Copies of this chain bind each other. A is one copy, B any other.
Amino acid sequence: MKTIVVIGAGNVASHLAPAIDATGAGRVTQVYSRTYESAEALARKLPGAVAICNIDEIQEDADVYLISLSDDAIVPFLNKLPLGIGRNALWLHTSGSVGMEVLSQVTDRYGVFYPLQTFSKNVELDINAVPLFIEGNTEEVEREIREFGEKVFKGIYYADSELRRKMHIAAVFACNFTNYLWIQASELLEKEGLPFDVLKPLLEETLRKSFDIGPLNAQTGPARRGDRKVTEIHKSMLEGEKSYLYGILSDSIINRYHPGEVS
């Protein structure tokens, strides 16, 4: 079985390392972190792993080195790494926005192992359902990465830097911008003394339906119906940013579903 050194003990590593161990994709032998406490907290969950916080203690002969550090910490870590460690091994990082080439200074076999999910240390989730995006510096390396990932993930996709960037943009629309609209909704409710939670069942069902029949078919609401009477009343009841965003988004929806009707 492959031996794995995990570099980092943050949110991603905390979900990934136990899944690698549990599925038999590999055996994690070391967890490195800058502080012993965090390395130890993760190593405790891995029967065959020891915690280390000294970069010189990283073993030289593991099969895979999996770097799961924050984007800005990857290159500084590599620059401090003693020469020769894992020279013939497969090196991977889990970042969606750092190119794989940064790893070329330590090995000839490297790639990206990027699970598209937001991880929180204390929130359990079904990692198998998370899509994994991979890239390898050669076809052979990519095949190796895919085989390694298949034990843990159900859906594995190829994505180079360009495609990862486009996925990031899609995720900004799907998650960041929508969360911002939830802020608007929660503030409108709060003003009326209602908790944001009153929207929870509706939102969960909206999300379910959107994935079930596709968002284009799932669109509802006054703008979707082209009901300008209602959208104008709504807009007039709002102020500032909320009124502005309501108008922009309603016009956008009307324009798509009722082209030529936007005044």
Task: Name A residues whose Cβ lies closer than 8 Å to a Cβ of B.
Answer: 116-118, 120, 123, 125-126, 129-131, 155, 157, 163, 165-186, 188-189, 191-192, 194, 196-211, 214-216, 218-224, 233-234, 237-238, 241-242, 245-246, 248-249, 252-253, 255-256
* 6 extra interface residue pairs, beta carbon distance < 8 Å, beyond A166-B189, A173-B185, A204-B207: A131-B197, A166-B237, A169-B237, A171-B199, A175-B202, A177-B249
A220 near B118 (CB under 8 angstroms)?
Answer: yes
Chain B hits for A117, CB < 8 A? 201-202, 205
Q: For residue A175, give the distance in angstroms from its CB to the closest CB of chain B.
A: 4
Copies of this protein in the assembly total 2
Chain A, interface SS category: helix
If A174-B199, A181-B181, A188-B173 touch, whether A252 touches B246 (CB-CB below 8 Å) is no
Q: Which of B157, B175, B256 contacts A206 (CB 8 A)?
A: B175
Complex contacts, A125 vs chain B, CB 8 Å? 201, 205
CB neighbours of A169 from chain B (8 A): 188, 234, 237-238, 246
